[in-house]
Amino acid sequence: MTTALTARRAILAPGQWVRNELWRRARAVPSLDLRFAESKSLVDATTGQSLVTFTRASSSTYVSSDGLIKTATTNEPRFDHNPTTGESLGLLVEEQRTNLLLRSEEFDNASWVKSSSTATANSAVAPDGLTTADTLVEVAATAEHSFGQTFSVVSGTTYTFSVFAKSTGASRALKMRLTTTAWNGGVNNQVDFNLTTGSGTVQSGTPTFTAQQLNNGWWRFSITSTATATGTPGGNLHITQSVGGPISYAGDGTSGIFLWGAQLEAGAFPTSYIPTTTATVTRSADVASITGTNFSSWYRQDEGTVFADVAVAQPSSGANQFVFRASDNGYNNSVAWNIQASGFASIATAAGGVFDGIASSNSALPANVAAKFAAGYQSNNMALSFSGVTPAIDTSATMPTALTRADIGSDHAGVNRVRAGTIRRLTYWPQRLPNSTIQTLTQ
């Protein structure tokens, strides 16, 4: 970082300094300010330059400002939104995932085994705004009214089964069943979902579940469980009369539900929708980095402060998740602002392979809720604050030198990734701000 603070302040228009609340709280102009949620771009607000290199080796979906699911092309960053309010959530960063189900939008296809039920294709407007949702109707018989697919699972692997569902106006509920051992003697993890309120109730097994509300009466429901044996069980979608009602009942031949976008993925939470037809489809990981002079123009080796406003799907994940990490393209020399396996925000340094770090002292980040943390680094002088609490302090850190790159949402090798996170803002100051200021930034 070569431009002095006073020179940067002179470069910027006075109104920009006065209007920006975060800059006012810091009492300093940052050398990098990525306002992903506000600008919906990778442009640095301080310099007006595009410093971030972004890649993803596949297309991928996201929620646009109108609440509809849209598709981003290969290497196009995704700026996600709240599907009901339209609020901009920032840059969406996800790990690689594969949808293991076939014909994800074609429930009338033979890939979906039907039991006492029928499917009418393309009979309703789907969450993508197109008439591609299907109507699932129960037959007039006393039976289980379901659709399902089998798939291969590996013992010890966690799987998440998700689908978009909507009421047709009939008094019916959705039962999701995820069997994670072999069919014979397998455990049926079952959750019933209310199609009006989105509430879910576990009926059997020990699954976890989620419900995300969308526009126009749609919900995205998911159920998660870990396989206890290797085999070919399956996932089923049942029409039921009510939450907690019997799985077998007398159908009337006309009642049913709308469905769209089924997904089965190895992972402990649902990620963005991956459409499939005749084969499984893999969505590649999002990769964002800053290298070369784009990095050296704003980063300071001996001290600095980072502010992050992020939301992640699973803060307590069993592995560190790097929100922002500067390194020499390796693991032995780095400064990282991350979320620990416990879900606590953290700053960690590595110098010559010697690691040191400190975690926030109040609580773990909540899942899927925006949270702010700020951390400053300097030799034997690190501090971190989360959600406005008194900073945690470390006085034994050695600063690495000759760092050459920054990675957003992962480390330099693309591992230890943020778990399906949206990053609203990343801001960097080329000085170690006072502890009181670091605390104020996160309020």
Domain residues of the chain, as ranges?
5-95+285-441, 98-283
CATH of domain 5-95+285-441: 2.60.120.200
Structure tokens at 125: 């407007």
pLDDT of residue 420: 87
Cα–Cα distance for residue pair 252/126, rounded to 1 Å: 25
Q: Residue 24: what are its φ and ψ, rounded to 5°?
A: -65, -40
Residues for the chain: how many in total?
A: 443
Structure tokens at 159: 């799987």
Q: Which CATH number fits domain 98-283: 3.50.50.60, 3.90.550.10, 2.30.110.10, 2.60.120.260?
A: 2.60.120.260
Q: Which long-range contacts (CB under 8 A, 24 or more apart) does 209-216 make?
A: 209/176, 210/269, 210/270, 212/83, 213/83, 213/84, 214/63, 214/67, 214/83, 214/84, 214/127, 214/164, 215/67, 215/68, 215/83, 215/84, 215/127, 216/125, 216/127, 216/166
Nearest to 317 by CA among 98, 95, 153, 152: 95
| Cα dihedral 286, 346, 320, 29 in deg (nearest 10) | 10
* Beta-sheet pairing, 173-179 with 234-240: antiparallel
pLDDT of residue 19: 64
pLDDT of residue 182: 45
Q: Which residues of the chain have pLDDT under 50?
A: 1-15, 182-185
Cα–Cα distance for residue pair 242/405, rounded to 1 Å: 55
Query: Identical fold at 5-95+285-441 and 98-283?
Result: yes
pLDDT of residue 14: 47
Nearest to 146 by CA among 221, 223, 239, 220: 239
Structure tokens at 406: 């920054």
Query: What sign does the CA torsion over 49, 52, 56, 59 have?
Result: negative
**Taking the complete model, does pTM exceed 0.95, yes or no?**
no
User: Locate tokens 């709308």: which residue?
Assistant: 258
Amino acid at residue number 370: A
pLDDT of residue 18: 53
Cα–Cα distance for residue pair 419/298, rounded to 1 Å: 27
